């Protein structure tokens, strides 16, 4: 079997599609094909993949098999059909990296003609309006059903008040249904963070035909929903030129933080994932202080001081590898207006200096993480059963100030 992927386009992150596909592939129960159909409907553009999946059937081949009795024909056909559909899905997941991602259409004639038309087009594509549409799409696909409930012709008397649910979290009344024209900046950004915590993906659904009631969603999971939500919202913010993004890990998970380049984002990811438990809390908090949307100069100073304390704890390791030059690493934190805040310190430097020293210190912590991992590698290979990660031999609480 070899799939023709030319007609398939992803509207999900590739890794999320593969992860949810693997879950669906191994799910049990009579509604297995409906679960897969729902995934394909959500994750791929159009109905081509759904139609291809539904077309797979071995029933026609079995109907001409003289050795299949009428009593066993249905069960054998059903099993064979699922086997073939499973094989189709396995190949699709294995080749998911080959799938193209759906992109916005190129500008049409009115948008290409003149400055006035372009300005009108941009005004119509307000990021707040686009966000309201995005939330409506999530709601239609059942991603808010666990939080807000869903209307049913048979049971609609005890639905929670969605506006009150949002108000309990954000402290602002009457925000549902969404009216993007009335939002100020803080309300807009607050709603972005609130809905991150509210969405959950329904992995199954069933159609209630009575009185045209429609689809009912079930089996909700926050993890995949939040991954998809961050991906879509961050793309919306990026296209609008807004220099914030929803954090994907750490203390600020699901909260808006300042956008950094890919290299610095990768540095944050590696440092959070590789730091020993003894320093992880300090490093995580420092990153959160520095990147949060409403950060201040004082917060940035505090973040640098927190990283300096971690490096002070590892000073012996740094000196071992840098020799006498290790003192230069701490001279900035000690002599400039960061830590001790006394009259002898220098304070006449630009705010951009704080960015430089923060990323320098964070990169140095990553370096020391690598040095420690190299040193502990033989020990780790002989004791892989430890679930808490290697202890940091250079972390001592007596060094903290």
Interval 339-380: pLDDT, tens:
545 545 555 566 788 899 999 999 999 999 999 998 877 665
Nearest to 151 by CA among 64, 212, 77: 212
pLDDT at 366: 96
Render the burial of 171-187: b for 16+ CB within 10 Å, e for the rest: ebeebbebebeebeeee
Give the residues across from 202 on adjacent strands. Answer: 220
> What is the DSSP secondary structure assignment for residue 399, as one 8-state letter?
G
pLDDT at 394: 47
Confidence class of residue 63 from pLDDT cuts 50, 70 and 90? very low
Confidence class of residue 129 from pLDDT cuts 50, 70 and 90? very high
- Asked if the model's pLDDT at residue 234 lies above 50, the reply is yes
- Asked if the model's pLDDT at residue 70 lies above 60, the reply is no
| Average pLDDT rounded to a whole number, residues 19-33 | 91
| Average pLDDT rounded to a whole number, residues 146-158 | 88
- Asked if the model's pLDDT at residue 61 lies above 90, the reply is no
Give the residues across from 346 on adjacent strands. Answer: 336
pLDDT at 42: 98
Q: Which of 92-106, 237-251, 268-282, 333-347 has the lowest mean pLDDT?
A: 333-347
Mean pLDDT, all residues of the chain: 85
- Asked if the model's pLDDT at residue 337 lies above 90, the reply is no
Spacing of C-alpha 369 from chain mean position:
25
Confidence class of residue 154 from pLDDT cuts 50, 70 and 90? confident
């Amino acid at each position: 079997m070899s799939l023709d992927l030319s007609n398939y386009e992803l509207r999900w992150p590739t890794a999320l599609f593969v992860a949810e596909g693997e879950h669906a592939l191994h799910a049990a129960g009579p509604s297995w094909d409906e679960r897969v159909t729902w995934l394909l409907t959500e994750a791929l553009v159009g109905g081509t993949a759904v139609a291809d999946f539904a077309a797979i059937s071995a029933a026609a081949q079995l109907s001409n098999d003289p050795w299949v009795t009428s009593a066993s024909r249905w069960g054998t056909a059903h099993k064979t059909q699922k086997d073939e559909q499973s094989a189709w899905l396995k190949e699709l997941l294995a080749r998911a990296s080959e799938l193209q991602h759906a992109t916005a259409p190129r500008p049409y004639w009115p948008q290409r003609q003149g400055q006035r038309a372009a300005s009108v087009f941009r005004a119509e594509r307000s990021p707040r309006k686009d966000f309201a549409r995005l939330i409506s799409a999530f709601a239609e696909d059942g991603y808010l059903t666990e939080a807000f409930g869903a209307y049913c012709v048979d049971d609609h008397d005890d639905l929670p008040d969605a506006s009150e649910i949002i108000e309990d979290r954000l402290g602002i009344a009457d925000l549902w249904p969404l009216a993007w024209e009335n939002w100020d900046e803080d309300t807009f950004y607050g709603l972005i963070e609130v809905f991150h915590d509210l969405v959950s993906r329904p992995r199954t659904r069933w159609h209630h035909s009575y009185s045209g009631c429609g689809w009912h969603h079930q089996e909700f999971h926050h993890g995949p929903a939040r991954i998809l939500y961050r991906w879509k919202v961050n793309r919306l913010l990026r296209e609008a030129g807004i220099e914030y993004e929803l954090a994907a890990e750490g203390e600020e998970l699901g909260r808006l933080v300042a956008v950094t380049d890919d290299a610095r984002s990768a540095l944050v990811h590696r440092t959070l994932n590789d730091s020993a438990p003894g320093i992880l809390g300090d490093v995580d908090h420092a990153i959160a202080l520095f990147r949060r949307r409403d950060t201040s100069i004082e917060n940035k100073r505090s973040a640098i001081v927190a990283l300096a304390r971690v490096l002070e704890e590892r000073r012996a390791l740094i000196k071992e590898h840098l020799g006498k030059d290790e003192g230069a690493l701490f001279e900035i934190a000690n002599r400039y207006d960061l830590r001790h805040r006394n009259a002898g310190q220098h304070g006449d430097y630009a705010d951009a200096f704080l960015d430089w020293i923060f990323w320098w210190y964070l990169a140095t912590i990553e370096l020391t993480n690598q040095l420690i991992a190299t040193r502990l590698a033989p020990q780790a290979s002989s004791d892989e059963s430890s679930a808490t990660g290697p202890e940091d031999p250079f972390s001592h609480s007596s060094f903290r100030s």
